[in-house]
Structure 1
Amino acid sequence: MGALNPIAFKLGPFLVHWYGIIIASGAVLGVLLAIKETKQQKISADDIYDLILWALPIGLIGARLYYVIFEWSYYSQHLNEIIAIWQGGIAIYGGLIAGGITLIIFCRRRGLSIWQVLDVVTPGIMLGQVIGRWGNFINQEAFGTVVSRGFLQQLHLPNFIVQQMYIGGAYHQPTFLYESVWNLIGLILLISLRHKKGLFKRGEIALSYAIWYSFGRFFVEGMRTDSLYLFGQVRVSQLLSLVIFVVMIIIFVYRRKQQKISNYLIS
């Protein structure tokens, strides 16, 4: 059995890629998860829908621009491929940065609490990442260093994953899977604990996600062979993960010290 076909089906002259279907599915399910939380947080679902209408496309553009900027040596010679996101090549951090800026501007214009809205949408973002990494799997990207087939089998992976990790004449670490599973564990923990009385203050769901994701991404990125680089051997995502991890912990601790003990998310 060879690699999976990245084309799901054809619509006349158009090719519909599995990558796009998976990314879109993750986005839709993430939105539904966020909408479900609006009742608990007493936020209008319409506000979240309006936010998503802006944040999703802007986040996607940001994710692509981030990738293109750090791969400009290639795209400067292939300008026609800049918009070819169906081939892969979107950076999560770029999407989070662009989407985060959009969220801040939106909340200020609507008079909404930025931290509260972040807490509402964060689990949906995590779910989108869990699912979206499987788009990388289909495209055979975001993989790690060369390993043996025996190594992959020792992980008790299904054969279709093992076979899909055979890329360029060798088997590779399924780093897409490591990140997907890491996010899934974090998602389960946050969903299970977020309504536990007296546990989280407002904004700490979002901060916890940033700390959790950046910690895991730092190590996963170190195993990848397709990283974006800044200076020499400095991996962009590793450096950014380290900065985010440290900064978010500082913010978490600072807010705990500054806020009144009664200012809990669930009180």
Structure 2
Amino acid sequence: MIIRRVNELRALVRGWKKTGVVGLVPTMGALHQGHLSLVQAAQQGADRVIVSIFVNPRQFNSAADLAKYPRTEAADAALLAPLGVDAVFVPDPDEVYPPGFASEVTVGGVALPLEGALRPGHFAGVATVVTKLFGMTMADRAWFGEKDWQQLQVIRRMVADLNIPVEVLGVPTLRDPDGLAMSSRNARLSAQARARAAALPLWMGRMAAGTPAHEAEAGLLAAGFDRVEYLAFHDAETLDAPRPGHPRRLLAAAWLEGVRLIDNIPA
């Protein structure tokens, strides 16, 4: 069931909430098996599941990147159909950001390093649209992929700080057989570049096992990556410098054939 209007979705959700838990899987479409793993996790943890598809213009730093982002509604609906989700929410931009829209949600702390430093305004766009989706869907729980680790921590921080009554759950990254994290952006790589992309999880694993960062970065460049934006250990929760006795995460962002790939692993 594809729904495009907030009032129509809420009419359904009000009834659903009387008898069970409503779950949300927010996406920007161009779905792949990684997204479907989120849906399957949601179906295990909620009585009704909404999948939202909305390419959020406010989280893109480049108009060209926004224009290139794939929009595949028919294919997405076909992938979701066998799973039997209860609603696919596909709002138009004016439904999310009506004329005169003038509000923004910003998060400090965990949103400031890494992606926050490299993509000013990105997490404000993410936090704003996720807050909107939580309000529009009235969901009780929401599932996000761990591939976007910093995004997950930003949303958790926002929900805690603003007392938003939504439980945020992370789902482990789904990977192709060669280790590359599944991503909608992978489809923009040529066959040759896609083969070279496997060097990213390879060198991250080596770095987690003790290879120095400069050697791992050199290995990526030798494998054909254009440049490495970051490849470093951080505190898993705060994304500050690692703290003794606290979980840490190795996070990476690198460019290959004009496509920006991000990944992270526990370390």
Calculate the TM-score normalised by the size of structure 2. Answer: 0.30
Q: Which has the higher helix share?
A: 1
Which fold has the larger relative contact order, with Cα–Cα distance below 8 Å and residues 6 or more apart in sequence?
1
Q: Which has the higher strand share?
A: 2
Quick check: which has more Rg, 1 or 2? Answer: 1
